[in-house]
Every structure is written in structure tokens, then in C-alpha cells.
Amino acid sequence: MEALTSSAMASSSDLEQLAEIELQKEEEEEHKCVTDAPSAPPISSSGSIPDSSHPYYDVARHGIIQVTGDDNYGRKLIVFSSCCLPPSHQLNHRRLLEYELPQIRYTALPLWSDVTSCLCCRYLKLTLDQYVEMDYILVYFHHGLRSINKPSLKWLREAYGEFDRKYKKNLKALFVVHPTNFIRIVWNIFKPLISHKFGKKLMYVNFLDELRDHLNFEQLSVPPEVLRHDAKLRAAQKGGPRPSARTPPPRPPLPTQQFGVSLQYIREKNRETVIPPVMRQTVSYLKVKGLRTEGLFRRSAQVQLIKDIQKLYNLGKPVNFDDYDDVHVPAVILKTFLRELPEPLLTFRVYSQVQEILNIQSSLRVSRCQQIVESLPEHQFIVVKFLLCFLHMVSQESIFNKMSPSNLACVFGVNLVWPRDGSISLTALTPINIFTELLIEHFHAVFKSRCPPGQETP
């Protein structure tokens, strides 16, 4: 770390040289501890592999980038895993060079690492373009970045410049997991280019458990190599691995509990209504005051405020959203309620059926959506219909709120259905979004009845 301190006064070229030396040291240390040959980049936990016709198949198939739902406060979770970056022999160089890469020009044949990085950059932008209009957070798993798969620092500068303000403005936090001297030196190199405001969004995370303080860890798609590395770091700590804290036995939920309990539990405790109180109150408020709010459901809210409102609901105390003077607050509360259900609103059972929606002829997809939702248990069907009726109403005001069925699907898809393991690969996200978009856009055909504005129960 002394080298890091003295490097603050060093030139950019000196810092780059120091970064290269640190990366080589880290690789040498890792090789000392590993006797087996390095494994291939892991497939995402869902096991879903993109079709070979995907325009960025060479990148997408490695699972480098994952969108894994929302965090606890309504912000999209995007994960970038360095260990999934492939080595050169796994890529078709000629095919890479055939890609059209706007805004990137070369005067000579680029190095493999630069071409790969350009593809990753374009693919990352393609992914972010679906979500940058809403608040999001980025989790960067640094372990696995090696000489064979790292981009040049020169290219990193150019790539940073290519990500314009829209990508940076709504990024609320950047978590760098398992940082090393290399990443800290690189940060020093980039300091002159990065605004103070953006710099405050960076958070170093030394162990995976520390992420639990900031987001829903169970939703993350963590590569096995990163899990093994984390375990190794803990074991190497002075005095051996840290003893895990004893988890107290779970308390039984309160009779008034709303968050983190099943629909059935809420129904049993609130027999006067089929619709959970949180859903009824947030939807009622947003129908009156939020339908024409631009970017509805795209924005997050103050973390502590959301916690306080959740506590009020769980204690059975009244919540008056007029007190907060912000329609994004009930919008986040609604998403949070859906996300914290032990089982998704559309149930685990339909996940595989939703994943198959792309295999169905376009003209038959609406009918298939109808079959899927009609197969739900009665209580689930009623609540789903109630929510989708409202989302359809929101989409009807898209000229004002900019929330088309497609935009709403990007927000709500992962909050309506997810697999039992809790993580969703980027590839698995596409059919989920398409399915949700169909439910919203073709609400009347799917649910076979009208739900007039203001009518809260189907």
C-alpha cells in the first residue's frame, strides 16, 4: 500500500506500469494457490444460453453481464463478472471484426483484448439502454481479471468517454467486489476524468457477505469461481476464517405483517379484502395522482424512508402517502411488496412456461398468456388481474408518463416471476419481459373482462 500512496504523485504512465506490475503479482499469487487447470467461464445459474443468432452471441454466451432483478429499494441490479471474460482462443477473431461498432474507429488491426472489450462495451450499452432511464446499481466482481482477458487501460479511457451522461446519472451505486491493488491504482488513473459526484458512488466490498447490507444478496447471480475466491479470502484471514454469527431463530410474523409473507397469510389476516392492503392503497393513490407522472416506477426513493413505511405497514399503522409529497414513494413500495413475496405473484410453477413464450408463434402468444394466467390458483389470479389492470391503465397514459407496455415490462417482469433459485440470467430476462408486455398490452384479451378506471377489484 506504500506504493499506492507514493503513486498519487506519479505520472499517468508510471501508474499504468504500476498497475500492470500489480496485476502480474496477483496472478502469480493466485497460481501458487491453484493446482488445477482454470475452469471454463461458468454458465449463469439459470443454465440459459442465448440463441446463436443473437447479435452479440460471442459475448452473451459467457454470462459476463447479468440483470438480476431489483434491489430492496426498487433499483435494477446489473452484475458484471470479470471471471467470465473469455480468453482469446474461445473467440472467433474474424467474426469479432465483422461487427459494426459505432463510435469506435481503428487505424490499425486492434489487439484481441481491445476487440473483445469493444464488444463487451457495446453489449453492456445494449443491456444498459433498457434500464438507464431508471435508477440502477452495478455490481462488479473483479476476481478473474487476468492479463489474458483484461482490456488495455488506453481502451478503458476511450470506453469511459463513450458512456455519456445518461448512463452515469441514474447509476446510484457501483460496488467493486474483492478489490485489489490493481483496481485501486486504476481508480487513481481515472480520477482526473471522473467527477466528484460520480466518485462518491463507488463502494469497495471486501467480502460477499458485506453486500447483504446493501442489497438482496439472494437475487445476485454470483459465479462459482467468485464464491470459491471469497471462501479462500476468508480462510486466509489472520486467525483463520471468521466465525459466522449465529442466526437467531426467525420470529413468527405479526398478524398485521405485509412484507415478506405469503399472499395466503395476508388473506387470512385481512378477510375483508382479497387484495393485499399495500397493493390496494398504493394502486389507489397512484391512479389518482401518479398516472401522468413521467418515469413512474423508474425512480427509486430514499432508502430509510422506504424502510420506515414498510415498518408502519407491518405494524398495522396507517400510511398517508400525501405526507411524503412524492408519487415515486408509493410506486417503490408497490414494487418492494411484490419483490418480497416468498413466492412470486405468478408462482414458481409458471416460470418454465414463461421461458418458452419465444418458442410460440407470435400470433398465438396472447392465447398462450391467457392459458398461463387462467391456470393460476383463484386468489393469485384475482390479485394478478388487479395489478395488470392498473398497469394497463398506466400504459394508456404513456404519452405523458413515457411508460409503454414494454417499459413497464422491464420494470415489473422480474417482480412478477422468477425461478426458485432467485437469480435470473440476462437471456432468461427476455421472455419474462415479453410475457409481461403481452399481459399489459393485451390485458382485456388475456383476462377476458374489462376493468373500468377506478374499479379496484376485478
Say if residue 330's pLDDT is above 50. Answer: yes
- CATH number of 370's domain: 1.10.555.10
- CATH number of 21's domain: 3.40.525.10
> Do 58 and 157 fall into the same domain?
yes
Of the two residues 63 and 343, the one the predictor is more confident about is 343
> Do 301 and 217 fall into the same domain?
no
* C-alpha count within 13 angstroms, C-beta hemisphere, residue 299: 14
Total domain count for the chain? 2
pLDDT digits (tens, 9 = 90+) for 391-449: 999 999 999 999 999 999 988 998 999 888 766 766 788 899 999 999 999 999 999 85
pLDDT digits (tens, 9 = 90+) for 233-272: 888 775 554 544 455 566 788 899 999 999 999 999 888 7
Element (H, E) at 412: helix 405-416
Give how far the C-alpha of residue 261 lies from the chain's centroid of Cα atoms, to the nearest Å: 23
Q: Which domain holds residue 273?
A: 263-447
Q: Per the domain annotation, does 248 fall within a domain?
A: no
> 431 with 356: CB under 8 angstroms?
yes
Q: Where are the alpha helices (DSSP H) in 316-404?
A: 328-339, 351-355, 365-374, 378-396, 398-401
Please enumerate in sequence order all residues whose Cβ is within 8 A of that of 270, keeping only pairs 6 or more positions apart, or say none.
276, 277
Full-model pTM: 0.64
Say if residue 117's pLDDT is above 70. Answer: no
> Do 21 and 144 fall into the same domain?
yes
In the DSSP assignment, the letter for residue 37 is P
Of the two residues 149 and 285, the one the predictor is more confident about is 285
Q: Compute the chain's Rg from CA coordinates.
A: 24
> 104 with 142: CB under 8 angstroms?
no
